[in-house]
Homo-oligomer: A and B are copies of this chain.
Amino acid sequence: MSKEALGRRIPVLEVFGPTVQGEGMVIGQKTMFVRTAGCDYSCSWCDSAFTWDGSGKQDIRMITASEVWEELRQVGGSTFSHVTLSGGNPALLPQLGELIDLLHAEGVKVALETQGSRWQDWFHRIDDLTLSPKPPSSGMTTDWDVLDEIVGKLRSEGRSYSLKVVIFDEADLRYATSVHHRYPGVTFYLQAGNDDVKEQDSSVLLRRLMDRYLWLVDTAMSSEELKDVRVLPQLHAWLWGNKRGV
């Protein structure tokens, strides 16, 4: 295969669904998931570390946009009209533009979440776009120049998008507050983080996640700095625990 042909292929780790989107701006949305491999970050609490830590390497398939669409059809039949591109960080992949156009041509809407560390021109064609910069507990450092530039490009096109910050502690909440104030008027989500991605007993995990969510709700409700915010859990983790592929 030529280098060009290979470059158009997408590193796919998982195709699953339909299921409900468990978080953020389209929480509850019936959607299929396409999970791509590779990330420029390595968040300490990443719930999909197999996309970048080498442990899922043998499951990566380099496939074309058409092959992704065929697989979506095979797995989801005719039950869906919404696809979520997840990672990893799908924003590393310029070749996703072809898949997005193909999905649109099939009448399918496309959602994407990314940390906002890389720009792709196809961001303009995402129906439900979430920028989710990572707070201090992740161990990552936000490049504000890059994030400002991405937000600026989206704003100049009048594109609707949302911001989301995952919260584990007080320092994360201060970071989130600064993000909220830096980009005023953008729909802003606070999400209670899952601080135990290994727990296999889903009822134990549920109690823990609900407590963390209630803490975040209480804290955000009493804040005068966080007025126009939406505070959400990860619904899928409440329902299915740390299981993959749901």
A244 near B: Cβ within 8 Å? no
Interface locus among A23-31, A36-44, A54-62, A88-96: A23-31
Task: Tell me the number of copies of this protein.
Answer: 2
How many Å from the CB of A71 to the closest CB on chain B? 17
Docked Cα-Cα span, A224 to B231, in Å, equals 31
Interface locus among A1-9, A168-176, A215-223: A215-223
Judging by beta carbons under 8 Å apart, are B30 and A231 in contact?
yes
Contact of A217 among B20, B189, B213, B228 (CB under 8 A): B20
Judging by beta carbons under 8 Å apart, are A228 and B82 in contact?
yes
How many Å from the CB of A163 to the closest CB on chain B? 14
With both beta carbons as reference points, the residue of chain B lying nearest to A227 in the complex is identified as: B81
Judging by beta carbons under 8 Å apart, are A28 and B227 in contact?
no
Residue ranges of A at the interface with B (Cβ–Cβ < 8 Å): 17-20, 26-30, 77-82, 109, 189, 210, 213-214, 217, 220-224, 226-233, 235, 238-239
